[in-house]
Amino acid sequence: MTALKNDRFLRALLKQPVDVTPVWMMRQAGRYLPEYRASRARAGDFMSLCMNPEMACEVTLQPLERYPLDAAILFSDILTIPDAMGLGLYFEAGEGPRFRKRIETAADIAALSVPDPERDLGYVMEAVRTIRRELNGHVPLIGFSGSPWTLATYMIEGGSSKDFRRSKAMLYDNPEAMHALLSKLADSVTTYLNGQILAGAQAVQIFDTWGGNLSAAAYQTFSLAYMQRIVKGLIREHEGRKVPVILFTKNGGLWLESLAESGADALGLDWTCDIGEARRRVGDKVALQGNMDPTVLYAKPEAIRSEVGRILSSYGHGSGHVFNLGHGITPEVDPAHAGAFIEAVHELSAVYHR
């Protein structure tokens, strides 16, 4: 494989020295870019875009053609695993993801099989290979998956939910069934992420989008424990270098100490957590990724620059910080404001690495 021209993202995740703080954005390939909207219209719909490796590569690279980002992230969706399990993923306009079948009983769970990455999710693996080839060592490629708990909620609810009533009812009424589902999903995520690594992903992130909706006790048992199991099962070195693992639990700031003991290399933070305080709490155990409120990008460039400066100052000197938003960039953001954000991170962070 081609040597990396810019590896500061991987170095920061491993707390190695860098010249400036690396930056990428969750959902950096997305609807805020007019070129993405044009590609999606050409594909016909979101899933057709995801399942076409050449087009998935095209939209993955679009933000890197605009901005000096320090990493690319695979264009895909967290719900590819449940879809490969036969639940029938589709997207309803204005309503988000839906499944044609829901998980309701222990028998439904027993009938699920762990997808084979190359056979059942080959379009994702081919997209990873295509993107790596087209990146040609420009920046590293991030692979990803949803967490077992997050995937389970969609599978049980049949789509998005405000209160997760079916998922939490199963968790408390029938914990054995929930553990059976989460165990199968943990195996699936491990296999899926290892497939991405073997195909060329140079770091991986687990998105625990809905872990923060659990109680403290339930989070430890039904979310974190399964992410720890995944981390233990991942390929941690490939192509002669370490493959860093990032865990991101939205609204997980209460549990940073536990997350820091997970075996992951880095923790993603949402914007509700002060990054300086988070650094004090986790010490040298993990790097930190984040954590500007995405809605700051609606403000003027001067205000964006000021907030970037505040977050950099809060983290302080030294490596171990990957700058990112606290969640995904939103569709209405002016692309010029995203550019101002990325420029500010690189310009203002150099002083913290001397």
pLDDT at 91: 84
Is residue 33 within 8 Å of 39, Cβ to Cβ?
no
What is the length of the chain?
354
| 30 is annotated as contributing to ligand binding | yes
- Give the catalytic positions in this structure: 27, 31, 40, 77, 154
Band the pLDDT of 346: cuts 50, 70, 90.
Answer: very high
What percent of the chain is predicted at pLDDT more than 70? 99
**Is residue 27 over pLDDT 70?**
yes
The per-residue pLDDT for range 228-258, each reduced to its tens digit, is: 999 999 999 999 999 999 999 999 999 999 9
Mean pLDDT is lowest, of 70-74, 129-133, 162-166, for 162-166
d(CA 310, CA 304): 10
Predicted TM-score (pTM) of this structure? 0.97
Domains of the chain are: 8-353 (3.20.20.210)
Band the pLDDT of 341: cuts 50, 70, 90.
Answer: very high
| 346 is annotated as contributing to ligand binding | no
Is residue 195 within 8 Å of 144, Cβ to Cβ?
no
pLDDT at 160: 87
Average pLDDT, integer, range 51-77: 98
| 327 is annotated as contributing to ligand binding | yes
What percent of the chain is predicted at pLDDT more than 90? 95
| 209 is annotated as contributing to ligand binding | yes
Band the pLDDT of 3: cuts 50, 70, 90.
Answer: confident
| 272 is annotated as contributing to ligand binding | no
| 77 is annotated as contributing to ligand binding | yes
Mean pLDDT computed over every residue of the chain: 96
